[in-house]
Chain A
Amino acid sequence: MNAFGTLLYKELLRFWKVSFQTVAAPILTALLYLLIFSHALEARVEALPGVSYTAFLVPGLAMMSLLQNAFANSSSSLIQSKITGNIVFLLLTPLSPAQMFLAYLVAAIVRGVAVAAGVLLATLFIAPVPLLHPFWALAFALLGGGILGTLGIVAGIWADKFDQLAAFQNFLIVPATFLAGVFYSVHSLPEFWQGASHLNPFFYLVDGFRYGFFGASDVRPGLSLAIVAGCLLALCALALRLLHIGYKLRH
């Protein structure tokens, strides 16, 4: 196997060996959200015309799980390797910064997409949703995994301790994903909060992903795609730069 393929294989094996924790647990969490929120709000909320609230929730929950798990994969792998010191095995090899970046990135996307697919499969029996534009859904899934996987790489490189990483996750990633219109349509928000939501790149991911299922969205999917692609490119440039200069990895 080539060097990139090996690191990718290692990263996939790493989460697959503990898949109960890394794949099954987030699927269960998403299902619990779905059961609780749909039970409480099914009769009261219609977020999209002609779409039941439970069905509306499904793509949002799938995307939220995808984002959180893509971030968790690359960030936790890097911080664990840094803290236990075994990152040295990687740094001693001829792997280039780009190869390292891509391997962590693709593994994060795979885990995110696996969890999202699991959520969609598990909810098939509770609230079947249509998939009107599968390629749009796939494009947003890959871009979402890419953005959060890259953010995870940046956070994993930057953090020196687990609690710094936990702060990044709990004060940035979790709020931004929760407030990305997973549980509501931003049109139902007061004007100020609608505007604020449009500053959150994760909102475009959730909205665009939902378009793939229902063919309806708050923002035109093409615009959402352009915005998230721009975010991904900027983050990729940052992550590659950090790896290239060896920030906090090579003294």
Chain B
Amino acid sequence: MSPIIEAVPIGAARRSVGAPLAIEVRAASKHYGSLRALDGVSLEIAQGEFFGLLGPNGAGKTTLISLLAGLARADAGTLTVMGHDVVREFRAARRALGVVPQELVFDPFFTVRETLRIQSGYFGLRRNDAWIDQIIERLDLTEKANSNMRALSGGMKRRVLVGQALVHRPPVIILDEPTAGVDVELRQGLWQFIRELNCAGHTIVLTTHYLEEAEALCTRIAMLKQGRVVALDSTRNLLQRFAGVRVRVRLLPDRLPSTLEGWQARREGETRILQLPDYGSIEQLLAALRTAQVQVQELDVMQADLEDVFVQVMRTG
């Protein structure tokens, strides 16, 4: 892929005092009939963040995105994008927001270039062809620029959706499951591109089922369950707070002192997996083993991953 696209000059603003939040949600609720899709959700996303919105199917992620994008209206609460209320100042809010929808939708009447030009025109942008060319090139769509949307593979259609979301250079970009059904190579390219957009100052909000992607990309994460936020913290804190430290040990003799039994998570053959509250506890573990004259034959400190945290939060949250 070619070098980074031109930067959007908002990187400085995110650090300045008084700059509006990229996204602010205050006590937003939404019902669909008897279904409570969102139940008093509040969260703030600062400019320049790479934010993950995680949760099982039906947790309310897409509903929250729909409220932000004006595709649905909240029953209660307020939502703003770059300080603009999504209902009262819908024009400014929508100009500030680019959304890559979850569904692979396209207009079968048009080519890739026509699709991007039309989307650009909806935002009232004249002479936007240079930027459209950059998007086409950056998303590896040059060869297909004049092909009808119908002739594109699923992965290419997905890239056009990304292009449509970027065509008006929005400071805030929401990607709703952008890599669902996208092959590995393309996924890597897409993430590189999104990461570059983030470095250039764009705020990125991401929902995904691939938790390893969220862990690698997002600096902060909200987890939703049944329409409520059940966890909201930096990715690092979440990994530490919820999962602690896990240690795999092989002992000789294969015996755990009784004071340490509470830490054992499970056995795997000759080894034991211990769940420790924090890194400091490793010292305590070793001291207790020494006192009990148990020799450590093997010791692995295992990094907790987001999947562990996710499972734990969904079970308890």
Contacts and interface: CB of A to CB of B under 8 A. Distances in A.
B122 A95 contact: yes
A91 B103 CA distance: 15
Interface stretch (A6-14, A56-64, A136-144, A231-239): A6-14
A89 B121 contact: no
A91 B121 contact: no
A25 interface: no
Interface string A1-35: 11101110110011001100000000000000000
Interface in A210-251: 246, 250-251
- With a 10 A CB-CB cut-off, give which of B69, B71, B108, B164 has the most chain A CB atoms: B71
A88 interface: yes
Interface residues of A, number: 28
A88 B105 contact: yes
A85 interface: yes
Given A14-B109, A84-B108, A86-B107, A6 B73 contact: no
Nearest to A18: B109
A88 B73 contact: no
B94 A92 contact: yes
Contact of A93 (B72, B101, B122): B122
Interface in A83-133: 84-86, 88-96
Contacts of B118: 6, 9-10, 89
Given A17-B109, A84-B105, A86-B106, A92 B69 contact: yes
B105 A90 contact: no
Contacts of A88: 71, 101, 103, 105
A1 B121 contact: yes
Contacts of A96: 91
Interface of A: 1-3, 5-7, 9-10, 13-14, 17-18, 81, 84-86, 88-96, 246, 250-251
Contacts of B40: none
Given A86-B105, A89-B107, A251-B32, A94 B123 contact: yes
B107 A94 contact: no
Interface in B100-153: 101, 103, 105-110, 114, 118-124, 126
A2 B126 CA distance: 7
Contact of B73 (A9, A89, A246): A246
A37 B105 CA distance: 45
Given A85-B105, A86-B106, A91-B71, A5 B66 contact: no
Nearest to B164: A89
Nearest to A81: B107
B70 interface: yes
Contacts of B73: 246, 250-251
B96 to A, nearest CB: 10
A170 to B, nearest CB: 25
12 contacts: A6-B120, A7-B122, A10-B118, A84-B105, A84-B106, A84-B107, A89-B107, A89-B118, A92-B70, A93-B122, A95-B122, A250-B70
Contacts of B124: 2-3, 94
Given A2-B121, A88-B105, A251-B71, 8 more contacts: A18-B109, A88-B71, A91-B70, A91-B71, A94-B123, A246-B73, A250-B70, A251-B72
A250 B71 contact: yes
Contacts of A84: 105-108
A9 B109 CA distance: 13
B34 to A, nearest CB: 15
B95 A92 contact: no
A245 B220 CA distance: 35
A8 to B, nearest CB: 10
Contacts of A10: 110, 118, 121
Interface in B229-277: none
A89 B66 contact: no
B177 to A, nearest CB: 14
